[in-house]
Chain A
Amino acid sequence: MTASAIFTQALDLESLRAAVQEEYKLVALEPEHSFHFHTGRPLAHLLGYPDAWLADIPESTIESFAGTGNPFRLGALQPGERVVDVGSGAGIDSLIAARMVGPNGQVIGVDMTPAMLEKARHNAAIGGFTNVEFREGLAEALPVPGGWADVVISNGVLNLIPDKGAALREMARVLKPGGRLQVGDILVEKAVPEDAKSDINLWTG
């Protein structure tokens, strides 16, 4: 039995997903709410997003940003590239990527939270983004063909997934050979007690 299998047995996966969806539904619908993490434009500045990247992103998308890093600082996206954004939320990174890859490129954002998908789709439409689409799905089962993407980006999502190996294998599946993985996430330096690993409140807060 793998470590991740032991891990997920101790945790009710459906309850965890429901708790994560509820937390991020709140980020989508009530971004002014007080969270245990920074959000919105102040967070984007903290993570090194220049104003130029945000200039034509709808404010309604920016206000629901809840990333933990900056995938674009890991390497520039090139015109014409295909990008998958795993856990795309309200769509800020997908829309930035869409501008970077240009009209000959394509971006697919994947998220499991309906409220985030609705917000991302609405803002892509009002912002005139024609080379991005948002699909409902899980990081462990991406609704994207194998070998489709030049780059997979993700921001603040892997830490919410118990079986990180499964999510990473799925990211590798959708990448072309030689494709790049560019991720913002979190690193926990201290050992997390076993009882804490099965505490859903700690996963979301």
Chain B
Amino acid sequence: MAAGFVDFEITWRADIFSGAPQSSSAAEFGTFGINFRAHKPL
């Protein structure tokens, strides 16, 4: 269990910074948008 949660799961990832109006440091560090979920144990 980490930080009070179990069953961490990343379900989606995508490049969400490319084409942004201003240049970003995101690409330099391999940054992606993600969705993740977890549960608090019963």
Contact = CB atoms under 8 A, between A and B. Distances in A.
Majority secondary structure of chain A interface residues (helix, strand, loop or mixed): mixed
A164 B8 CA distance: 15
B3 A187 contact: no
Given A68-B33, A181-B37, A187-B10, A37 B17 contact: yes
Give the interface size class of chain A.
Answer: 35 or more
Contact of A179 (B21, B34, B40): B40
Contacts of B22: 34-36, 205
B39 A178 contact: yes
A172 interface: yes
A38 B16 contact: yes
Interface in B1-41: 2-5, 10-13, 16-17, 19-26, 28-41
Interface of B: 2-5, 10-13, 16-17, 19-26, 28-42
Interface of A: 34-38, 43, 46-47, 68-71, 73-75, 164-165, 168-169, 171-173, 175-190, 192, 196, 202, 205
